[in-house]
Structure 1
Amino acid sequence: MEHIEVKIEEEQQSERIDKVVTSIESDWSRSQVQNWVKDGMVTVNGKTVKTNYKCSAGDIISITIPEPTILDVEAEEMNLDIVFEDSDVLVVNKPRGMVVHPAPGNYSGTLVNGLMAHCKDLSGINGVLRPGIVHRIDKDTTGLLMVAKNDMAHESLVSQLKAKTTTRKYKAIVHGVMPHDKGTIDAPIGRDKSDRQKMTVTDENSRDAVTHFNVLEKFNDFTFVECQLETGRTHQIRVHLKYIGFPLAGDPKYGPKKTLDINGQALHAGLLGFEHPRTKEYMEFEVPLPKDMEQLLDNLRRKLG
């Protein structure tokens, strides 16, 4: 373990201990430092303190930096579609059928396994099974994900998601012909009491959820839409579109059994925008539809003709 000692200067008088320690190293996050203080890894004049301790000039801060957690998840070489990467952030285009992170009973073949082989530096805020993962998309949803390579980046990206300043646009093929060209679905989502593996629109134990949609093309029995997330609840787009009567094509959980021939829901996270954690520059990335969704659209267009 590494040990650091810092003396508090006059200009740091009355600042909180967690703020002072976080400012020492740019890759240390506030939440990470607060955990160190709680665990007694940070002392003032040889004594443990609380995270809200106000520093005095002349205080000697001693910091014991814990060894990084050894991950139980094994790195696996994969041909990942990396759209962007620097020392803080990575943006990846996830294929259909790939789970984002390991879970009990499913420790291999996930995006995290591939990321660990691609780069050794991933943020540790989410623990052993989900290093670097800031947000998720479902196994059979394709498209863009942002990944944090250190805790500073992780904290920044999570705060942007909470503040609703990121841009996340999805394209989807749904059952039915939508009568409106655009709209907003504002309906709270919670766990389905009759099926714990499903989410549903409910007022009980729910969280606010808002999805904006814009119709791109209409077909005989289907509609091609773009959805923009304002919030990011589990299965949000799938639940919201079912709620208004236009479930996703190919969705085994929320859609009809008789559907288009696609292996999983026709949903693609095609556009992702966020502020870079270090440079503060707004960055936006876009990837085309996967081939199977393009093929479905071509088939639907031919039937119209």
Structure 2
Amino acid sequence: MAKKKISNYRKDAKSLILEVKESEELLAFLLKAMSNRSRNSVKSILARGQVTVDDHIETQYNYKLRPGQTVTILKNKAAIKQNVLIGMNILYEDEDIIVINKEAGLLSIATDKEKKQTALHQLMEYVKRENPENRVFVVHRLDKDTSGVMMFAKSEQVKRKLQDNWKEVVKERTYAALVEGRVTKQKGYITSWLRETKTHMMYSSQTPNDGLHAKTRYKLIQGNEDFSLLEVELETGRKNQIRVHMQDLGHPVVGDKKYGSKKHQAIGRLGLHAKILAFKHPTTNKTMSFKADVPASFFSKSK
């Protein structure tokens, strides 16, 4: 949504949208913005994932806001009951599939700590409104802190068909990656065998067949001394593939502390976005392509 310059806030049917005027912590900002609510009430709104800063869900009370950022607050529980999907929007839906644009900060599926605030759970609730027998199934995943295009199946049969033929079905998976430092090569190709440690860290091996073969192509979009914006295309879809390969390149993804990032707070999120997903429809065989716009912060940091 475009920002209006009339005042420092505006409302729509479901959200309160505010512009940050000075540096301060998110909770303090929200307490002032929602002065009619108790501290616990505001904390609950944060914890439920109802607050977005620029292009990502933020749940940390002490997140440092900067002037010029936009804070969007999904109004209340009533808004959620009005079929609002938190942290995502539906790009396409038919009898077989649902394609969404997921925000950074939203889990794809449940974890031990979080069961309900996930893309899968919300979509399950969404399809059940039409028919309690309806279901949604995970086809592939995006990391919690990665935003962008993601697809779900609406039946076990479609899920299996997509997963069993994933290499043939998927025609393009393109990401935008904001990485640290100046990437000097205009384009490149990275290949390795990925392995996983007992602590769930992925790492590259150059020994043939020592792990899962991973292939990544990249090209430079723009960059400066501190940051580079890359377009990254996956030839294989391994766990944390882009993150490990960018570390191997010597240019870790911004905000990716797990894989070597030194600039954790540069954009307040992980610098990885699933930009394009193109695939053959499981029933019609028609090739479909979906795009989610690259976050503005990726461009502004790498100018």
TM normalised by structure 2 equals: 0.66
Match of 1:172 in 2: 177
* Structure 2 partner of 1:109: 117
Aligned-pair distance for 1:152? 2.6
Instruction: Find the aligned partners of 1:261 and 1:176 in 2 and give their Cα distance.
Output: 12
2:165 paired with 1:154: no
Q: Is the 8 A contact 2:180 2:263 kept in 1?
A: no
Change (3 A) 1:108 1:227: same
| 1:282 counterpart (284, 287, 302) | 287
Deviations for 1:184-238, whole angstroms, at most 9, x for unmatched residues? 1111111135xx1311112486111111111111212221101111111111100
Equivalent residues of 1:160, 1:274 under 8 A apart: no
Which residue in the other structure is 1:188 paired with? Answer: 193
Partner of 2:204: 201
**Separation in structure 1 between the aligned mates of residue 163 and residue 251 of structure 2, nearest angstrom:** 30
Amino acid at match of 1:198: M
Structure 1 residue 295 corresponds to structure 2 residue 290: no
Q: Which runs of 5+ in 2 are unaligned?
A: 1-80
C-alpha deviations, 1:20-46, integer Å up to 9, x for none?
A: xxxxxxxxxxxxxxxxxxxxxxxxxxx
Partner SS for 1:145: strand
Structure 1 counterpart of 2:221, one-letter code: L
In 2, Cα distance between equivalents of 1:115 and 1:300: 34
3-state SS in 2 of match to 1:173 = strand
Query: 1:178: how far off?
Result: 1.6
Match of 2:259 in 1: 254
Which structure has more strand as a fraction of its residues? 2
Residue 179 of structure 1 and its aligned partner are, at CA, apart by 2.0
Alpha-carbon distance, 1:113 to partner: 1.2
Q: Over alpha carbons, which structure has the higher Rg?
A: 1
Runs of 4+ in 1 over 6 A off after TM superposition: none
Displacement of 1:77 = 5.8
| Matching residue's letter, 1:240 | H
Task: Tell me the distance in 1 between the aligned counterparts of 2:134 and 2:259.
Answer: 34
Q: TM-score, normalised by structure 1?
A: 0.65
Contact kept? 1:171, 1:267, Cα under 8 Å: yes
Rounded to whole Å, the distance in 2 between the matches of 1:78 and 1:260 is 27
RMSD: 2.2
Q: Match of 2:245, as an amino acid? A: H
CA deviation string 1:29-74 (max 9, x = no partner): xxxxxxxxxxxxxxxxxxxxxxxxxxxxxxxxxxxxxxxxxxxxxx
Query: What amino acid sits opposite 1:90 in the alignment?
Result: I
Partner of 2:85: 78
| Cα distance between partner residues in 2 of 1:289 and 1:158 | 26
Q: Distance in 2 between matches of 1:229 and 1:245?
A: 18
Distance verdict in 2 for CA 1:107–1:257, change over 3 Å: same
Equivalent AA in structure 2 for residue 200 of structure 1? Y
**Worse overlay, 202-211 or 273-282:** 202-211
Q: Partners of 2:280 and 2:302 in 1: how far apart?
A: 37
User: Once the two structures are superposed, what CA deviation does each residue of 1:138-188 show, in whole Å capped at 9, x if it has no partner?
Assistant: 000000111001123212221332447431100011112122111111111
Percent identity between the two aligned chains: 33
Matched residue count = 215
How many angstroms apart in 2 are the aligned matches of 1:239 and 1:299? 22
